[in-house]
């Protein structure tokens, strides 16, 4: 299978919203009047972001999911994406599964694959997503990291039966530091390999959340970015963080490591004025996910992590840094 046959067979699909899709030198996409494009790009490298043994369909899903999660954090509605793909060899079964996972998630979110690039090389996936936000006049604009204010509540999203930290728990099982078997392992493994981007929640939070960020590198680190961008601080209640039954069955120190520093959660952390709690609950119900209040924004800079009794938690929870 040659390069162009590969693209035609697995990636070039007729587009409905894009004016020009795959096959020309550029794709052409048309945001609605009164809207702006929100653009984000995320790369997945074998051995760094995923294990070589991962199921190809799940990998196709995750490569797009991590990008849609960035759109979600801005409250943007997905419009289109491009895929830059380096592949060691054109394995038809692998490509079929990978493209299947990617197209299935793309279709669910109306995010058309409009172009890309395909080369031979070590497995590497880079997706760019394009989303739509209001221009801030007729319709609410993008939710930024910089809009948190002292007095706001701090919230996190989670799956109804899930929470933060499951992806890290699965990683520890792969590393051999934690033993977990059967359906319990399958559930946390699914959280790691098949994250669900909170796109509908992000859209529902427009005009409601002052600031938001998605948790990709670990809660404390990502929340830290939001706090610095907003020039505020926060108190975070560690024991209020949502946890799956699988994680809640682990020793407390491991629970804290996974929820506070885990990474690969792809949940939204966001801030909303304290008088608007009912609206947040309604937005989450409409979006089909759960949300929990886990702290508050304060004027004093820095992140204060406390236990149930309000006492400070000792310890360091470093978030992921590729060059640290």
Q: Which two tokens stand for residue 254?
A: 């491991």
Residue facing Mg ion at closest CB distance? 117
Return the range that interacts with Mg ion (CB under 5 A); candidates 26-34, 113-121, 197-205, 291-299.
Answer: 113-121
Q: From the list Mg ion, ligand ADP, none, pick the one residue 113 interacts with, judged by a Cβ distance below 5 to 8 Å according to partner type.
A: ligand ADP
- The minimum distance between CB 27 and Mg ion, in angstroms, equals 12
Q: From the list ligand ADP, Mg ion, none, pick the one residue 302 interacts with, judged by a Cβ distance below 5 to 8 Å according to partner type.
A: none
- The minimum distance between CB 164 and ligand ADP, in angstroms, equals 33
> Do residues 111 and 13 touch, judged by C-beta distance below 8 A?
no
CA neighbor of 250 nearest in space, from 161, 147, 177: 177
Return the range that interacts with ligand ADP (CB under 6 A); candidates 114-122, 157-165, 179-187, 280-288.
Answer: 114-122
Reduced to 3 states (helix: H, G, I; strand: E, B; else coil), residue 96 is helix
Residues 6+ positions from 69 with CB-CB distance below 8 Å? 195, 197, 198, 214, 216, 266
Q: Per rule CB under 6 A, is residue 186 in the interface with ligand ADP?
A: no
Candidate list 29, 56, 65, 83; residue touching ligand ADP; CB under 6 A: 83
CA gap 170, 54 in Å, rounded: 13
CA neighbor of 74 nearest in space, from 139, 137, 133, 146: 133
Q: Per rule CB under 6 A, is residue 118 in the interface with ligand ADP?
A: yes
Interface with Mg ion (CB under 5 A), residue total: 1
Q: Per rule CB under 6 A, is residue 107 in the interface with ligand ADP?
A: no
Candidate list 5, 19, 24, 120; residue touching ligand ADP; CB under 6 A: 24
Interface with ligand ADP (CB under 6 A), residue total: 14
Nearer Cβ to ligand ADP (63/178)? 63
CA neighbor of 12 nearest in space, from 85, 121, 108, 89: 85
> Do residues 269 and 279 touch, judged by C-beta distance below 8 A?
no
β-bridge partners, 279? none
Nearer Cβ to ligand ADP (115/202)? 115
- The minimum distance between CB 101 and Mg ion, in angstroms, equals 23
For β-strands 302-306 and 233-237, DSSP reports them as parallel
Helix axes 56-74, 182-193, angle to 10 degrees: 60
Candidate list 91, 117, 186, 300; residue touching Mg ion; CB under 5 A: 117
Q: Which two tokens stand for residue 136?
A: 């801030």
Q: Which two tokens stand for residue 294?
A: 């886990």
Q: Which two tokens stand for residue 322?
A: 């590729």
- The minimum distance between CB 41 and ligand ADP, in angstroms, equals 14
Nearer Cβ to ligand ADP (118/124)? 118
Contact positions vs ligand ADP (CB under 6 A): 7, 11-12, 22-25, 83, 85, 113, 115-118
Contact positions vs Mg ion (CB under 5 A): 117
């Amino acid at each position: 299978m040659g390069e162009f046959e590969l693209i035609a067979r697995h990636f070039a699909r007729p587009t409905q919203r894009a004016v020009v899709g795959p096959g020309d030198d550029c794709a052409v996409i048309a945001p609605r009047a009164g809207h702006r494009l929100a653009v984000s790009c995320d790369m997945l490298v074998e051995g760094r972001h995923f294990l070589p043994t991962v199921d190809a369909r799940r990998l196709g899903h995750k490569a797009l999911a991590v990008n849609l999660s960035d759109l979600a954090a801005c409250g943007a509605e997905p419009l289109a994406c491009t895929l830059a793909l380096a592949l060691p060899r054109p394995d038809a079964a692998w490509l079929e599964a990978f493209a299947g996972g990617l197209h299935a998630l793309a279709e669910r979110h109306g995010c058309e694959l409009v172009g890309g690039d395909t080369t031979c090389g070590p497995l590497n996936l880079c997706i760019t997503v394009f989303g739509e936000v209001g221009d801030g006049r007729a319709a609410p604009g993008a939710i930024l990291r910089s809009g948190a204010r002292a007095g706001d509540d701090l919230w996190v999203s989670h799956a109804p039966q899930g929470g933060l930290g499951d992806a890290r728990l699965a990683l520890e099982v792969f590393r051999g530091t934690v033993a977990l078997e059967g359906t319990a392992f399958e559930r946390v493994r699914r959280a790691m390999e098949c994250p669900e981007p909170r796109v509908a929640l992000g859209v529902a939070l427009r005009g409601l959340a002052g600031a938001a960020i998605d948790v990709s590198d670990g809660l404390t680190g990502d929340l830290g970015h939001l706090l610095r961008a907003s020039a505020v601080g926060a108190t975070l209640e560690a024991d209020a963080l949502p946890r799956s039954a699988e994680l809640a069955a682990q020793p407390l120190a491991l629970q804290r490591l996974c929820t506070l520093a885990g990474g690969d959660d792809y949940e939204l952390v966001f801030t909303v004025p304290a008088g608007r709690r009912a609206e947040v609950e309604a937005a989450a119900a409409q979006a089909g996910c759960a949300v929990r209040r886990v702290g508050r924004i304060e004027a004093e800079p820095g992140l204060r992590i406390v236990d149930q009794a309000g006492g400070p938690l000792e310890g360091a929870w470093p978030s992921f840094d590729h060059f640290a």
